[in-house]
Amino acid sequence: MAESRADLMRRLTADVRPGYSFPRDFYCSDAVFEADIEEVVGRKWIMAGHVGQLPNKGDFFVFKVGEEQIILIRENAATINAFYNVCRHRGSLVCSVTSGNAPKLVCPYHAWTFGLDGALLSARLMPEDFDKKANGLHPCHVREFYGFIFVNLTAGEPDDFDATFSDMAAILDYHGFADAKVAHRASYPTAANWKLVVENFLECYHCQPAHPEFCSMHPPEALVAVGAGPSSGPTEAVEKYRPILEAWEQRVAALGRPVGNIDDTPDSTHLRLVMQRTIREGYMSETKDGSPASTLMGKRTEWDGGRMHLGFGPMSHVVACNDFAILFQFTPRSAMMTDVDISWIVDGRAESPDVEKMVWAWDVTTVQDRQITEDNQAGIRSSRYTPGRFSDQERGVANFQAWYLNQFAHLQAG
């Protein structure tokens, strides 16, 4: 008799030690990955992209998560729709390319044709009693929020979007994300479990040995205290950095910048975070020499020496300095493969941003992250792997793991 999902997670959770990395199966098991997709990933609002990827009517791209493919397509100036990439005839992919522009969606198999609203427009040689209205594309929950496009794979009603994210509105509005444009996109597919990718991003314990370029742009005390978010560093380091942070917050608040952090606890629905802090003294932007790569974003009127890290959830992050922002999408594809996609965006009024200068820091950092995370995965596959104890600079990982386990609490109760 096959082990039920509840029994599987109950058995594995019994071996978890708080303050230690997960046992091997959490990072390697196909069964655990299937549970992740069903109970965690598929129930959350996930950032699929930015409206700058869909500027014109009929523009589309395909967002892949696990075994699902979601078509994001602009119907008109006000509406972006989301549909499962499954023809209602015999299940073929409707879009066999990852992006493009189409006045209609035509399945290449038997030419069933769908409108930009998902309605079936034509199906050749079907019986007289065939109901076209009942055979439109399957919709997917979708929301646009200050320029970011989110999808939710839940079959029923998803978590209330506005209740989840509305307190981020002032920050997102100030940074000008709704009117931003995409300057560059790059993909870094990573042969590792999605939880390892997330855990790596939520700690800066590895920053000094692995990321000299990244560290060169930031104060060492900030990296130790809050390098991966407000709960990522040791308490004493946070307290030591606090006077510097508070002085900066007072100065930038006078310039009209919304300040303050968000640090969701493990009992939250999406484990959001917002961390705003200083960059290296004398630097205007997160570039190799600290000089700008583009014009000021959003409502800024002068350079303020700061940066922001905002997490809509463990898989969807935004890092913003004064002149550009970086969107991080960590999308689970299989037990040991994760899509890592990055978009660099600039102010909608920016002309001729220096893309090479803009991309430098996070391109080299993400290539490094891919290597260390794949090495982490390879080591975990060894018969000699045992969960290791977290340092005081990995509090963000412990917070994420507690949140992750909470997503299965309803199974445990059953």
Tokens of 365: 């950092």
Q: What is the pLDDT of residue 414?
A: 55
DSSP string, 175-231: HTGGG-EEEEEEE--BSS-HHHHHHHHT--TTHHHH-HHHHTTS-HHHHHHHBTBTT
CATH code for the domain of 135: 2.102.10.10
Phi, psi dihedral angles at 198 (to 5 degrees): -65, -45
CB distance 300 to 307 below 8 Å: no
Q: Let me know if residue 102 belongs to a domain.
A: yes
**DSSP H stretches of helix in 84-193:** 161-165, 169-175
CATH code for the domain of 194: 3.90.380.10
pLDDT confidence tier of residue 411, bands split at 50, 70 and 90:
confident
Phi, psi dihedral angles at 341 (to 5 degrees): -120, 135
Cα radius of gyration rounded to whole Å, the chain: 22
**How remote is the C-alpha of 368 from its chain's centroid?**
18
Question: CA-CA-CA-CA torsion for 163, 64, 42, 262, nearest 10 degrees?
Answer: -40
Both 183 and 144 in a single domain? Answer: no
Both 138 and 238 in a single domain? Answer: no
Both 176 and 305 in a single domain? Answer: yes
Q: Let me know if residue 307 belongs to a domain.
A: yes
| pLDDT tens, residue by residue, 165-202 | 999 999 999 999 999 999 999 999 999 999 999 999 99
Both 175 and 227 in a single domain? Answer: yes
The percentage of the chain sitting over the pLDDT mark of 90, rounded to a whole number, equals: 98
Both 238 and 134 in a single domain? Answer: no
Q: What is the pLDDT of residue 410?
A: 85
Both 360 and 266 in a single domain? Answer: yes
Q: What is the pLDDT of residue 107?
A: 98
Q: Let me know if residue 414 belongs to a domain.
A: no
Domains identified in the chain, total number: 2
Domain of 96 in residue numbering reads as: 46-152
